[in-house]
Structure 1
């Protein structure tokens, strides 16, 4: 199976009422874009229900980390330690998704959180997909980076290949190994070792012939970026942004795009369209990705929203006088 299809099939297999699944997320601290995690799973924490009530979208990291709180309104410029243009964008986005509410006083905007940001996530798992271990590429370096940084609670390698002792000897001992076959599910070849997420870590920033640039990462930085990673996973999910607009397209269980001509899962953005010899323009399958995700995972598609609920209570109190 091609890596894209393998990844989507694995995401569909892992998603359940107790597991959020997302894919293609930055997995670094000093250089988040240097390490892209194929799949991330997040289990709900003690205040997960409070998080679902706020918004189905990702809450901007700088909004959570700002000095805006759920108490009194604050002048927005005083609450951010970044360029005002960046702060304005964050405020606008936080208001749009329902995490901030805004009040106009004269010619100034004041903001506050609609609710305290909750302690909503539990364990984070990072999964590296490598269907064919015969073509490992940079696999060893990627997994060593994940283990030494320890941003996720555990790291797993998922493959379709038969796993030998030689394969296991080439990866860090802490990495779990799954053999995944879509019809049959996951076979645990080697369980992962829990990583020290509460301690500092070491991040590989750049690698050159004969030398590597690394950066120590503190426990506080890791805590901040774990929250950012979990928040991105909550907002993004794993389903593709588009589905094939072709008569040959179908949808597998969970919302996975499949092509009957190819006989496999396809990547709509790269494989479907006029360049395909069997492309047959059509509306394609009807897929409600949000409904699929809400039905199969703990994510909530259309919460009442704390801001809307508070507005309703304010109206009720006012109308009762």
Structure 2
């Protein structure tokens, strides 16, 4: 199975069995943004989750959360951000926060003032990072990736998910803190339902997320460049990671515009996924579908409501009532 198909089916399986916020392909570095991408992130909601879900379905900009904008007296937006926040970045964060309903604004003597519609809740509890490697015979950079996750300890647990039979040699090549799942089909079930089973080969070890971490930046023969990341920097990055997961989710794929492809039955697969009858498998429309494919049949793409499906099947809310106290915006003053 391709890593893309494996990832989608694993997310569908986990979503049907857990009350977590799941997302795919999120950055999990601190010192080197984009240096490490986690295949799947699972965020366990904490006590503040309902308050967070009531604000907006979108990712709230981190600069807006960290700003001095509160729920009480409105502040002049330029004075609400730290000195090290570039004015352009502050402006974009303000605009986005207003657009998604986290800030509301008003004009006073030609100046724009903003306040939060609700206090930002610390809603995320534990975060689990899942690295997908269906075939351990082609590990790629797996060992260095997992060692980065363990030494940085940005997430509470790290798990390796694979279809391969896991040997002691495999286990010896990855950090002992990393949990291992063997993901396979349940042969007793109807093949059409694509039912997955997860065998826990090794439980993950809790990582020290509240302590400083070490982030490898560059590997060289006999030498590794590193950055020591403070506990405060990790805490901010964990919040950004959870927020990005909340807004993005894992249904970021497209439905192919091809007559040979059709959406799966969500009840059979656990979610509506892009299935190609010509290939007999799930496909990534962005990279696999088009005139270069011998089975391509031009057609309109399916209009599957992936956002509505996420709303129905998870704690995430597609269209919350919001906490805005009044309808406001610059258009009121034009």
Same fold at TM > 0.5:
yes
Q: 125, 145, 149: which is aligned to 2:148? A: 145
Q: CA deviation at 1:161?
A: 0.3
Q: 283, 300, 310: which is aligned to 2:317? A: 300
Q: CA deviation at 1:278?
A: 1.4
Inter-partner Cα distance in structure 2 for 1:187 and 1:204: 31
- Determine if contact 1:239/1:255 at 8 Å carries over to the other structure: no
Alignment of 1:188 onto 2:205: no
Q: Deviations over 1:258-305 (max 9, x none)?
A: 101000010010001121111111123331011111111111111001
Alignment of 1:1-321 (within 5 A): 1-16=1-16, 18-81=19-82, 82-181=85-184, 183-252=195-264, 253=266, 254-307=271-324, 310-311=325-326
Q: CA deviation at 1:67?
A: 1.1
Q: Deviations over 1:14-63 (max 9, x none)?
A: 11461111000000111120000000001110110000000000000110
Runs of 4+, deviation exceeding 4 Å? none
Q: Which runs of 5+ in 2 are unaligned?
A: 186-194, 328-334
- Determine if contact 2:182/2:200 at 8 Å carries over to the other structure: yes
What's the secondary structure of 1:180's corresponding residue? Answer: strand
- Determine if contact 1:19/1:44 at 8 Å carries over to the other structure: yes
What's the secondary structure of 2:34's corresponding residue? Answer: helix
Q: Deviations over 1:90-144 (max 9, x none)?
A: 1000100110111111221111111110021111000001110011111110000
Q: Deviations over 1:55-93 (max 9, x none)?
A: 000000110011111111111111112121111111000
Q: Which runs of 5+ in 1 are unaligned?
A: 313-321
- Determine if contact 2:41/2:245 at 8 Å carries over to the other structure: yes
- Determine if contact 1:247/1:280 at 8 Å carries over to the other structure: yes
TM-score (norm 2): 0.90
- Determine if contact 1:6/1:131 at 8 Å carries over to the other structure: yes
Paired residues in the alignment total: 310
TM-score (norm 1): 0.94
Inter-partner Cα distance in structure 2 for 1:75 and 1:206: 42
